[in-house]
Copies of this chain bind each other. A is one copy, B any other.
Amino acid sequence: MSIPLPPARAAWRNRLYQIIFEADTPAGKAFDVGLIVCILVSVALVMLDSVQDIHTRFHQELWVAEWVVTVLFSAEYLARLLSAPRPWAYARSLFGVIDLLSILPTLLMLLFPELAYLLTIRALRLLRIFRIFKLGRYIAETQIILTALRQSRQKITVFLTAVCVLVVMMGSTLYVVEGPANGFTSIPKSMYWAIVTITTVGYGDIAPKTPLGQLVASLAMISGYAIIAVPTGIVSSELIRGERPRAPTRPVTCPHCLLEGHQDDARFCRACGAALLSAAPALSVAHKTQRSGPG
């Protein structure tokens, strides 16, 4: 079943819209899989190009492949602009900007070759591709994690402020105790050491050498050891509270406001009320009057 769009829109634009923006038709899924492959290939190209040996030997091939990828991404960007009911809304949305950013660098690269590494920003586009992996459930999962993070935002701010104060105090103390002779050449560098220590990364490029410095550092490690328990506990408790059953959702994008995560039987966008293009079967009266039993 198909819901008519405004008469000004040609049928091929609707069809293109369903292929590109939605993921519940075979063509839409194929498009998403192809896009994922394309993104992974383009990221791999940039990585390989940074290896000196490969760059020297396959420079020509990598250059060709890069332009093929860029042409494909440019075509995708134009197709999205063409098929989106409100092109300007798409162009200003987060993913519209990312799509643009992922073709701009190659064009700019002709002028500024040192920008080549910015191409890996395409990795960000992987986030959009979650849709196909999860068909409705993954979006809900992502939202649970994001909701947990958002609800514990205030606790995390308190926690990060405490970590910052601890880092400043620790770094200054070690700068005074160890001094430039032992590698603690300035307070910012000592704070770098404090962060490396408190997060338990521990490179060892800077390490206290005097007995007093080692004593203070030991206290800092034990503190970091105790502190790492706090964010874990925060996220755990939020996740445990946040897990309530959710209605299943469909991978449909609102053609008007580009909102995703609509419920299975949604025919209209829950945010702006626009008609969804690949709509669910109309809710029959029987379905609507159906009520859950007492069990």
Contact = CB atoms under 8 A, between A and B. Distances in A.
Given A47-B187, A200-B202, 6 more contacts: A50-B186, A160-B222, A191-B218, A196-B218, A228-B228, A233-B235
Q: How many copies does the complex hold?
A: 4
Interface in A161-208: 161, 163-165, 168-169, 172, 175-176, 180, 185-189, 191-192, 195-197, 199-205, 207
A236 interface: yes
Contacts of A67: none
A144 interface: yes
Nearest to A153: B141
Contacts of A155: 141, 144-145
A60 interface: no
A158 B187 contact: no
5 contacts: A123-B169, A141-B158, A188-B211, A200-B200, A225-B228
B222 A199 contact: yes
Contact of A231 (B176, B214, B226, B240): B226
Contact of A126 (B148, B165, B187): B165
Contacts of A236: 229, 232-233, 236-237, 239-240
A73 to B, nearest CB: 17
A292 B234 CA distance: 32
B165 A124 contact: yes
The 8 A-B residue pairs whose C-beta atoms are closest, nearest first, are: A233-B235, A201-B202, A203-B204, A233-B236, A50-B187, A204-B204, A229-B231, A229-B232
Contacts of A186: 47, 50-52
Interface residues of A, number: 85
A130 interface: yes
Nearest to A180: B52
Contacts of A224: 199, 201
B225 A233 contact: no
A39 to B, nearest CB: 11
Interface of A: 43, 46-47, 50-52, 117-118, 120-121, 123-124, 126-127, 130, 133-134, 137-138, 141-142, 144-145, 148, 154-161, 163-165, 168-169, 172, 175-176, 180, 185-189, 191-192, 195-197, 199-205, 207, 209, 211, 214-215, 217-218, 221-222, 224-226, 228-241, 243
A141 B46 CA distance: 45
Nearest to A115: B176
B141 A154 contact: yes
A204 B124 CA distance: 28
Contact of A199 (B123, B137, B192, B225): B225
A218 B195 contact: yes
